[in-house]
Chain A
Amino acid sequence: MNRDYMPLFKVAVGTKVQVSELLSAGLPRRRMLDLGIIPGTAIDVIRKSPLGDPVAYNIRGASIALRKEEAEQILVNKIS
């Protein structure tokens, strides 16, 4: 249906996106699920650290910094 999926890491600061798929497996996947990242979760990209990695995201009311490797495993699409 919607083919505009992209990894969360590529999303620009200030954008609001929605999770469509989680690619990671095993413990890293468990970790993402525990942080509340499941298909449908809304994520705001808040800011990038000086070196561009990690990036801070607002996920269900908490600011959470994710590394590039982690954010690349989260496929999202833009909302609004």
Chain B
Amino acid sequence: MNSICKSCPKADLDQNFNIKLKDHNEFVIALAGNPNVGKSTVFNALTGLNQHTGNWPGKTVSNARGIYKHKGKRFVLVDLPGTYSLLANSVEEQVARDFICFGKPDATVVVADATCLERNLNIVLQIIELTNKVVLCINLMDEAKRKGISVNIKKLEKKLGIPVVATIARKGEGLDKLMDKTYNVALGLETTSPKQIQYPKIIEDKIEKISKQLQDTLENKLNSRWVSLRLMEGDTTILESIYTFMLNKENTYVEEEGAYIYGYQ
């Protein structure tokens, strides 16, 4: 059932995340963001699926996926668990992080809540530190308006260096623009230049030192600057994931009734 060549990076997707692509014209889009910002609503609106939207933690631990078409291309949309961070404090965060790191999505859409942007921008900054193929979707614009909050989309775009789209997913507003922007980023038609966080010199020096040593192992498949930062924090889960996904030792995913659910359960 493998119609896609073994050698290209997308073969890993099938092996590790159970995503089967028909051909090179399919694109994988990850959907990330805080809990409760309407990720699953955006997911359902785009794919026409009726995945459970419910408000309890860990609802989307086994990541759900659906397909939508835009401008003649097929997009596989992967709904990741809602997290405040990507630094792997919990199973959900690890699932989300591993997919963005090792699933190599063609683009990552971060959904944020317009009513409390400050809280939501944390994960946006973390994701643009990891990959530059990011589109920010500011959802719940209607609720923000009701609360008297207006969001300056143009300014956010400029400050973050990535495309930003305002949406009301529940009513389907802004989704066309979201699909356009995602299309552009996934196909490389629009180049993003996310603003990188500069750390104090003492940390920057260490990053340089560590990332040099990492380059051979990571072979540009994973952002060595980002991995250096995680290692400095003493995060060992990233090492385990590198072993599992990049060096192909021990697959931690178990098959269960067709769905791949993360190791526990």
Contact = CB atoms under 8 A, between A and B. Distances in A.
Q: How large, as a class, is the contact surface on chain B?
A: 10 to 19
Interface stretch (B81-89, B163-171, B246-254): B81-89
A27 B113 CA distance: 26
A10 interface: no
Given A36-B122, A62-B36, A31 B116 contact: no
B219 interface: no
Given A27-B89, A30-B233, A62-B36, A35 B116 contact: no
Nearest to A64: B84
B212 interface: no
Contacts of B241: none
Interface string B111-149: 001011011001000000000000000000000000000
A26 B84 CA distance: 17
Nearest to B85: A34
Contact of B118 (A26, A31, A60): A60
Contacts of B233: 30
A61 interface: yes
A34 B118 contact: no
B166 to A, nearest CB: 18
Interface residues of A, number: 11
B89 A34 contact: yes
Interface in B213-265: 233-234
Interface string A54-76: 00000111100000000000000
Contacts of B36: 62
Interface string B29-52: 000001010000000000000000
Nearest to A58: B116
A65 to B, nearest CB: 10
A34 B92 CA distance: 14
30 contacts: A26-B234, A27-B89, A30-B85, A30-B87, A30-B89, A30-B233, A31-B85, A31-B89, A34-B84, A34-B85, A34-B87, A34-B89, A34-B122, A35-B84, A36-B118, A36-B119, A36-B122, A59-B119, A60-B116, A60-B118, A60-B119, A61-B113, A61-B115, A61-B116, A61-B118, A61-B119, A62-B34, A62-B36, A62-B116, A62-B119
Interface of A: 26-27, 30-31, 34-36, 59-62
Interface of B: 34, 36, 84-85, 87, 89, 113, 115-116, 118-119, 122, 233-234
